[in-house]
Structure 1
Amino acid sequence: MNRAALDALADEQVDWRHKGMPPALWGMTVEQIRARRPRLSELPTPLLTLSRAALDHNIDALASWCATRGFDLAPHGKTTMAPVLWAEQLRAGAWAITLANLPQLAIARAFGVQRVMIANSVISPLSLRWIVDELAAHPDDEIYVWADAVDTVRLMHEAIANHVADVGDRPQLRVLVERGGAGGRTGARDLGTALEIAAAVADSPYLALAGVAGYEGALAHTADEQSREIVAAYLRDLAEVHERLAAAGLYPEGITPVVTAGGSAYFDVVDEVLRPLAGAGARVVLRSGAYVVHDDGFYRDISPLGEHPRTDGPALRSAMHGWVRVSSQPEPGMAIFDAGKRDLPFDEGLPEVQRLRPRTADEHVTDLDGVSVTALNDQHGFLRFDAQAEPPVQIGDELRLGLSHPCTAMDKWTLVPVIGDADEDDPVVVDLLRTWF
């Protein structure tokens, strides 16, 4: 990646544009705030933070897990849209960064990411023109896209042919055949269609057949045996496409075919089914993205390295927390806090109440039981507890929340404080992480 572009982020001036930053820090640069090392108590609520220790642990944990099995990792950058974290993942051994569309690719290219997988079809002529021009200007870089229909290949071919007068020595756009599954998202639903797509890619002078791709996470949503067998059956179908393409000699010389699957929920099943391909000439690539942040909800429950591990390796840790303040107690058994859907994720489960921050300098953080989040409005959250007992919270209390689903947490914040240890009474802010959504 472009070190100068990353370093320049430290010179960004913090001000009113950055939600969660107090007026006392406005006018300072990110580097100045780092050096000042403010405490969490100096930042207002609502707030989202990341834990430096948990991020480091998670990056190392999955890098080691992949290396042990002979897999490559192309973490899905859309989870964080934070180039600084992408750089850390690449330094830990990631082979590429995965993204979802042209705007995300443009951010990656602005920060010098040299190998990107777009886990999607790209059929907009405007997008394709820019991509092939990027490749022409940087012939050693690699950009991969997916195709799940012959019409998709035709549209890619036509868009590039109408833009490029002569193929010449221009690098080809690398295309992966996407295999889908019944009831899933995109992807060819049968072997015959997948082979037709591959043949169409191989016939285009502007495209290079580079492997097979798919996404298993849309086919199951639990970790039980039935769900894992659904995923395994799908992965066997994906492997069959690759094996047929290799046997037919459709892969061009000089390209190691990529076989890619594996979000953050079923990479243990990917290991069981696809590992033999890693030792037989293919590059097996996981695209896990949520692992770097992990959570206290959906991924804690379903991840193979979560609360109920299904594979060897260090357990992942939730790096993200929400910090909110009780603003109202309008009736017994209920309180309202100052964060809602515009601040915290809610699509894969509501936040969970974890801790009560110290009320005075003489107190310490305490676990908070018997209090649950029951609803989120745009800017308000609802707490419920026993109406007959002494209220466990009072107006002005600050709470730490565990959150579910990092993919819909990070997008709500342009500048995320990174704290040293989320379990301390008053954690130190060690960095500010810039995101682009």
Structure 2
Amino acid sequence: MAASADAAASLDLDLDPVLGVRHKSVPPALWGRRASEVAGERHPVGEFATPLLVLDRAASDANVAQLTAWASERGLELAPHGKTTMAPELWRRLLDAGCWGITVATPWQAQVARAAGVDRILLANEVVDPVGAAWLAAELDAHPELELACWVDSAETVAVLAATRGESPIDVLVELGGEGGRTGARGVEAALAVTDTVVAAPRLRLRGVTGYEGSYGADRRPETVARVRGYLAGLAALAERLLDAHDLADPIVTAGGSTWFDLVAEELAPLVGRARVVLRSGAFQAHDDVFYTATAPLAFTPALTVFARVVARPEPGLVLLDAGKRDVPMDLDLPVVLQTADGRALPGARVVALNDQHARIVLPAEVALAVGDVVLLGISHPCTAFDRWRLIAEVEGARGSNPRVVGFVVTAF
């Protein structure tokens, strides 16, 4: 559920800002006007400054429709990871499409979700910061309708939550980890011991089990698939034992990043009907041209595109663009060259490095690309694209001819 405009504004979430100098790449001619007003005028992308990150609305909506249908066919729920976009408007679209809830990674992100009116939240982390734990307890007391569960993986994490003051119980999911993984109790027996600690803590309410399989591999080689399946089989075994031992109200079993949700669905399928099986995939709403295109089990459409301008061609085989580390992600892969803004192919052109404000492209000397030309880039890993932009232009047909801006998405980073 999205908050009303008044409620959002009262918590400093201005989802329809007055455009200004804080909004990178918005031209000064549009400053001083509401984003919604400008969006209604459908300005061409060419009127905006470069570099410019845009979201193709139709592509994003199609991705959401595809995964929600896929999950529904398998009896699965979706609580997409909101940290991918940190964009309340995009969260609202997920909930409107039928997603069960929104996942976040930190108490602060949960606070943003609450400011946006989200009332079903998975906090996919151990909450050991006393400030965050105290807020969580107070928020549950103040809003009985709120459903919020966080992770525990040790007696110490249980103790932090158990020490909070409040009347409403704090829902927790016991996290299973594995050797070399991230957080999570190491092994089923260790996780069951944490479960016993939760049950003995009056402030807490056991809701189920959780895990993250993405720590165990990110390619589709047979040995990686086997390793991920093995981890998920352990998670399913933990869930079975917990459900056999405890009579839980509306139990939850959750896993699933954006690479392995197909294996999550297969390995956790026997639990559908016994528990609410929730996928937390988040990157699909935007997708990308590199990492998730290579690893995601469904053929989503990349919805993010960067428009960047040639600022120099100092050598025949070298081009510099005006988009750099401050504008595009590089933590997993460098961006890829797609085409020019007027649709020309650029055979052999590739990004080889990013500086703070430049992309270095090598290309054959005979390929025509001049200073002032605009190049379209595809990105890898949308999570680290959104956090470089406080306002993202939404367009129709980002990679077609003469795309127009039809909206703006505000991020909260």
TM-score range, shorter chain: over 0.9
Unaligned 5+ residue runs, structure 1? 165-169, 306-314, 359-364
CA distance in 2, matches of 1:422, 1:191: 47
Which one of the candidate residues 245, 251, 254 is aligned to 1:257? Answer: 251
The CA deviation at 1:11 is 4.0
> Is residue 355 of structure 1 aligned with residue 331 of structure 2?
no
> Is residue 222 of structure 1 aligned with residue 219 of structure 2?
yes
- Give the aligned partner of residue 344 of structure 1: 328
CA distance in 1, matches of 2:125, 2:74: 26
The CA deviation at 1:37 is 1.1
SS in 2 for 1:350: coil
CA distance in 1, matches of 2:75, 2:341: 44
The CA deviation at 1:367 is 2.4
Aligned amino acid, residue 288 of structure 1: S
The CA deviation at 1:423 is 2.6
- Give the aligned partner of residue 288 of structure 1: 281
> Is residue 266 of structure 1 aligned with residue 256 of structure 2?
no
The CA deviation at 1:7 is 8.5
CA distance in 2, matches of 1:406, 1:30: 23
- Give the aligned partner of residue 403 of structure 2: 427
- Give the aligned partner of residue 44 of structure 2: 39
> Is residue 325 of structure 1 aligned with residue 303 of structure 2?
no
CA distance in 2, matches of 1:33, 1:209: 48
Unaligned 5+ residue runs, structure 2? none
- Post-superposition Cα deviations, 1:201-260, rounded to whole Å, max 9, x if no partner, equal 1111110011100101111010122111111100111111111112222x44xx211110
- Give the aligned partner of residue 299 of structure 1: 292
The CA deviation at 1:10 is 5.7
CA distance in 2, matches of 1:354, 1:302: 20
Q: Is the 8 A contact 2:77 2:278 kept in 1?
A: yes
SS in 1 for 2:208: strand
> Is residue 383 of structure 1 aligned with residue 335 of structure 2?
no
Aligned amino acid, residue 2 of structure 2: N
CA distance in 1, matches of 2:341, 2:2: 40
- Give the aligned partner of residue 133 of structure 2: 128
> Is residue 367 of structure 1 aligned with residue 345 of structure 2?
yes
> Is residue 49 of structure 1 aligned with residue 68 of structure 2?
no
Deviating beyond 6 angstroms after TM superposition, the runs of 4 or more aligned structure 1 residues are none
Change (3 A) 1:138 1:7: closer
Question: Number of paired residues?
Answer: 408
Aligned amino acid, residue 2 of structure 1: A
SS in 2 for 1:50: strand
Identity of aligned residues (%): 45
- Give the aligned partner of residue 194 of structure 1: 191
- Give the aligned partner of residue 309 of structure 1: none
CA distance in 2, matches of 1:96, 1:343: 30
Aligned amino acid, residue 399 of structure 1: V
Moved more, 5-14 or 370-379: 5-14
CA distance in 2, matches of 1:94, 1:143: 15
Q: Is the 8 A contact 1:291 1:316 kept in 2?
A: yes
Q: Is the 8 A contact 2:101 2:122 kept in 1?
A: yes
CA distance in 2, matches of 1:11, 1:55: 20
Q: Is the 8 A contact 2:2 2:92 kept in 1?
A: no
SS in 2 for 1:260: strand
> Is residue 418 of structure 1 aligned with residue 379 of structure 2?
no
SS in 1 for 2:4: helix
Change (3 A) 1:155 1:229: same
- Give the aligned partner of residue 378 of structure 2: 402
CA distance in 2, matches of 1:224, 1:21: 44
Which one of the candidate residues 66, 69, 90 is aligned to 1:61? Answer: 66
Q: Is the 8 A contact 1:328 1:335 kept in 2?
A: yes
SS in 2 for 1:288: coil
CA distance in 1, matches of 2:2, 2:302: 29
- Give the aligned partner of residue 91 of structure 2: 86
CA distance in 2, matches of 1:12, 1:324: 25
The CA deviation at 1:2 is 3.5
The CA deviation at 1:341 is 0.6
TM-score with structure 2 setting the length? 0.96
CA distance in 1, matches of 2:53, 2:100: 29
1:205-220 matches, within 5 Å, as: 205-220=202-217
Q: Is the 8 A contact 1:354 1:402 kept in 2?
A: yes
The CA deviation at 1:128 is 1.3
The CA deviation at 1:396 is 0.7
The CA deviation at 1:63 is 0.5
The CA deviation at 1:113 is 0.4
> Is residue 335 of structure 1 aligned with residue 316 of structure 2?
no
Aligned amino acid, residue 200 of structure 2: D
The CA deviation at 1:368 is 2.0
